[in-house]
Amino acid sequence: MKMKPFSRGLPLILALLAIFFSGCLSRSQTPRFYNLSAIEKDQVAVKSASPAQNAIIGIGPLKLADYLETSQIVTRTSDNQVAKAEYDRWVGSFKDEFLNVLADNIGFLLPTDQIQLYPWRQSVPIDYQVTVDVVRCDGRLGEAAWLESRWSIFTGPEKKLVKTMRSSICEPVTGANYSDLVAAQSRALARLSQEIAEAINKAGKN
């Protein structure tokens, strides 16, 4: 029995339709980009007299855990498993984003506008240097965001170590979207910034 021409061409037609619809689907999934946000000025208490008045503060170097060196937003699916979002990404380098927002926050929290980002010129007389090692920065949608880090403060040209701490911060995620997760991560970074600013104030009083 001879196969009709239409029947012989049906597999090819179905294959072409599958390619067409898969192409339409992939084009509809455009990437979404996010950035961390700094503390709002109206959220900062009035700055009182501080040992860090007009101090030159150096932020960095900053080190990230290897799994965070990606443009994709990382979530935690279990205690021992992470996932990288396919279409939800940081607008630029996450490391640069983290460093810049940390610097902005500390500049808002302390009575100084003299914030330097690592690396700075050797001729800059840094009064306080803050180094940060980010161990964890991820979360679960609709649950919580975690920020764990080790950080140190050094003073003067001799880089005298005055403080070393480990911070473990958890912020609730108020919704099931990546924008809610990023907002919680921004709040966690604000809390870390407050801890560091308080430590700088105390270091100046010693």
The encoded tokens of residue 168 equal 């473990």
Contact 133, 143 (CB under 8 A): no
φ, ψ (nearest 5 deg) of residue 137:
-155, 90
Joined tokens for residue 1:
């029995």
What's the rounded mean pLDDT across residues 37-60? 80
DSSP code per residue over 81-148: EEEEEEEEEESS-HHHHHHHHHHHHHHHHTT---EEESS--TTS--SEEEEEEEEEEEEETTTEEEEE
pLDDT higher than 60, residue 24: no
* 96, containing H or E segment: helix 94-109
Q: Which tokens belong to 51?
A: 């040992």
What residue ranges do the domains of the chain occupy? Answer: 5-38+52-205
Q: Does domain 5-38+52-205 have CATH number 1.20.120.160?
A: no
pLDDT by residue (tens digit) across 150-165?
999 999 889 999 999 9
Mean pLDDT lowest for which of 25-34, 103-112, 158-167, 189-198? 25-34
Cα dihedral 63→66→68→70 (10° resolution):
110
- In tens, the pLDDT along 119-156 reads 999 999 999 999 999 999 999 999 999 999 999 999 98
Q: How confident is the model at residue 37 (pLDDT cuts 50, 70, 90)?
A: very high
